[in-house]
Structures are given as structure tokens and as C-alpha cells.
Amino acid sequence: MRALCWNGINDLGVETVGDPRIVNPHDVILQVRMSTTCGSDLHFIDGYIPTMRKGDVIGHEFMGTVVEKGPAVKKIQVGDRVVVPSFIGCGSCWYCQHDLWSLCDNTNPKGELQEPLFGSQTAGIYGYTHAFGGYAGAHAQFVRVPHADNDCFRVPEGVTDEQALFLSDAVPTGYMGADFCDIQPGQTVAVWGCGGVGLMAQKAAFLLGAERVIGIDRFPERLKLAREKVGAETISYEEVDSVLDVLKELTGGRGPDACIDAVGMEAHGTGVGAAYDRAKQAMRLQTDRGQALRQAILACRKGGILSVVGVYGFMDAFPMGAIMNKGLTVRSAQQHGQKYLPRLLEHVVKGELDPSFLATHRFSLEDAPKGYELFKKKQDGCVRAVFLPN
């Protein structure tokens, strides 16, 4: 089959690779209908996350049709149109049983690679680094999905492929970020980042009862989507002297009740902090640029909630003093997609949520490297590039 492969730093190519096979009894093989780019892919494309190998098939946000199933798969049938969360959950360990699916104990065959950095291992993920299991990704004609009965969610009639596609990662990640905020009536939530995850976090904050949502970014077209598709207020951080001052003024001097970081380790920023991060990252002295996260910590009102869904590796210059002295609650995780998928599908069916506006560009699989280029450089108003591999 054809697949998009990582051939080195900033080097993606469409290659011919072997077809995936049923390996374990709970596997299915999916014919991929749609897959999409994710900002977290840029971290290994740019070389900030180790344990990629030349020739790895990438991509972790996808939906498709089941074409083959293993002997122990009971609920999912060949022919089902399904969406699959990016993190693989076994459904039977303590973490899956407690709806903490991205912490699954049993789906990362290479967890020992994570333990030196994290102290424990996480679940496996498709098309990401070998530390996250090294499973072949979904920017391919076919993909193997383990534990299909727990990880495949049937897409109801009337829900389009594009609507379902983003329920794989962008929507559950954003929704979980808002869910962490424990939103009370009348509250204000600020969201750093107006990419796929950030926009979905803003939408979810409204769905979960926020009175006001403020989106922060620098790209006019993304800020426009936040205003027009989500109904958020927006701040362009390049057009104001101080994001912190603006947030204070918008909230009567208190600061937002909850702040969501939907940016992660490759944040852009302005000022001294950003210059410090850039210099250190360029010299490979640290992996993360943390401007968005630092700003979110400083902006949050006393006793508020900081929700981190942006991806980080190892960040220094972390303002723990602000968290401690302001009594912030920090909540964070990779997405527990399996927990949220049923209610997200319900929101879509009821017409309360339509994430398909994220799909600004479409490409065939052969043109996927172009799609990543456009997505990475945010050219032509690209929010998400969607691939149609078959």
C-alpha cells in the first residue's frame, strides 16, 4: 500500500510499504477514508521529539471502514464506518476502567522508552514516535487498529466523514480541555491557540456552560474562525502590548476563571521570554518553547484552573511560584477519547457541534507532503489539511 512516511527531520515522503495484517486477536484493519494533520506531528517533523525511525508511517487522526477483523472482535463488524481515538486503549486495565484511556497500561509495547522521561509509560498511539509504541500511522491506505471493540466508534447515518474525522483527536482533546475546567455558570474561559484543538476547546467551553470564551492567537484567519464559527472573543497577541492586561480588562481585573493551553511546546511569542526559549531550543538545550503556557499561568485568576492539552516534553523556566501562590489547579492529559466519543457523536447528531469547518484543505495521499508544508507554515489560511488515501 501507499503511505506517508517520516524519512528524517523535515523530510516526509509517500512510499510503498507492506499492508497491515491482523496481528493480535482484537485487531481490525481499516481502509482509511480520511486522515488529517495535527500540530503535534510538527514536533517530530521538526525533530524536537526523539525515537522516530526513518520509514515510519505517520498520522494519528483518522476514520475509515472496517475491512478485516480478528477472531476476538465481537461488536465491530466488517463494513462498519468508524472513527478511532488517537490513543489506543485496552479497555480492561485499571486506567481504562476509570476512563483514563490515554494512560492505558497495555497498549504501548515500547513503554520502557518513556520511563526515563515520564517515570511511567502511557498508552500507545498510531503514527507517532517509538516511545509511544511505534504503531504504523493512518496517513496510509490501510491501518491496523488494536482492541477494536473498545477503540472503534460507529459513525451514525447522517454524520459526514469530515464531521467524524475530527472526533478522532481535535474534538475530544479540546472537549477534555474544557471539561477539566469544571465550568460554572457565568464563568470566562481563555484558550491559547486557535488551531483545531483550540477552536474545539472554545466550542466545548460554550457547550459546557461558559458565559464568555476568549481565543488567543496571531493568525487573522484563525481568529476569524474563533469569532464566526465558535462565537468567541479574540485577542491577537501580536497586536496588543500585553495579553495579560487585555485579559484583566476583559474580566474586571480578575483574570479568566480557567485558562486552556492548546498550543504546546512550539509556541511562538513576543518579548524576552520568547527570545530566551528560541535561543535555548535552537541550541538544543531544551526541547520546549513555553510562552503560551507561562502566559496562561500568569493570566489565570487566583484559585482558577489551568488546563493543559498542548503537548510538552521537558520545559524549564516554569513559573511554579505563580501556580503555588495563586492556588491554581493544574489539570492535564493526552486525550481520553474513548470517554468522550459517545457524547461527542450525540452533539454532532443533534446539530450542536460541527467540526468540519476545520478542514480547510483537501489532498490526495500522494500530495500529503504538500499538505503538511501548507499546514506547518499556515499558508493560505490552512487550519487542517485532510487526506483522502483511497
Q: Which positions touch another protein (CB under 8 A)?
A: 1, 3, 5, 7, 13, 15-21, 23-26, 53-57, 72, 90-94, 97, 105-112, 124, 133-136, 140, 146-147
Name which of 16 and 284 has its Cβ closer to another protein: 16
Query: CB 15 → another protein: shortest distance, Å?
Result: 4
Bridge partner residues of 140 (DSSP): 3
First and final CA of the chain: distance in angstroms? Answer: 10
**Smaller CB separation from another protein, 107 or 287:** 107
Cβ contacts of 6 within 8 Å, gap of 6 or more: 12, 44, 45, 52, 53, 54, 55, 56, 58
Cell for 384? 487542517
Residues in contact with 116: Cβ distance below 8 Å, sequence separation at least 6, in sequence order: none
Closer residue to another protein (CB): 108 or 291: 108
Q: Please state, in angstroms and rounded to a whole number, the distance separating the CA atoms of residues 179 and 331.
A: 10
Question: 3-state DSSP call for residue 3?
Answer: strand
Q: How many helices (H) and strands (E) does the chain have?
A: 14, 18
- State in angstroms the smallest separation of the CB of 176 from another protein: 23
* Nearest CB to another protein, comparing residues 147 and 289: 147
* Nearer CB in complex with another protein: 144/203: 144
CB 14 to another protein: min, Å = 9
Q: Rounded to whole angstroms, how far apart are CA atoms 233 and 250?
A: 10
Q: Supply the minimum distance, in Å, between the C-beta of residue 339 and another protein.
A: 18
Measured from the CB atom, the residue of 67 and 72 that comes closer to another protein is: 72
Shortest distance in whole angstroms from residue 149 CB to another protein: 11
Residue 200 Cβ vs another protein, minimum distance, rounded to whole Å: 29
Question: What secondary structure does DSSP assign to 349-378, as a single string?
Answer: HTTS--GGGGEEEEEEGGGHHHHHHHHHHT
CB of 355 to another protein, least distance (A): 28
Taking the mean position of all CA atoms in its chain, how far away is CA 329?
21
Closest CB to another protein among 83 and 140? 140
Q: Which position has the grid cell 541550541?
A: 283
Question: How far apart are alpha carbons 356 and 362 in whole angstroms?
Answer: 12
Residue identified by cell 475530527 is 166
For helices 291-299 and 272-282, what crossing angle results, to 10°? 150
C-alpha distances out from residue 252 to 167, 189, 255, 256, 301, Å: 35, 14, 8, 10, 11
Cβ closest to another protein, residue 139 vs residue 289:
139
Closest separation in Å from C-beta 21 to another protein: 7
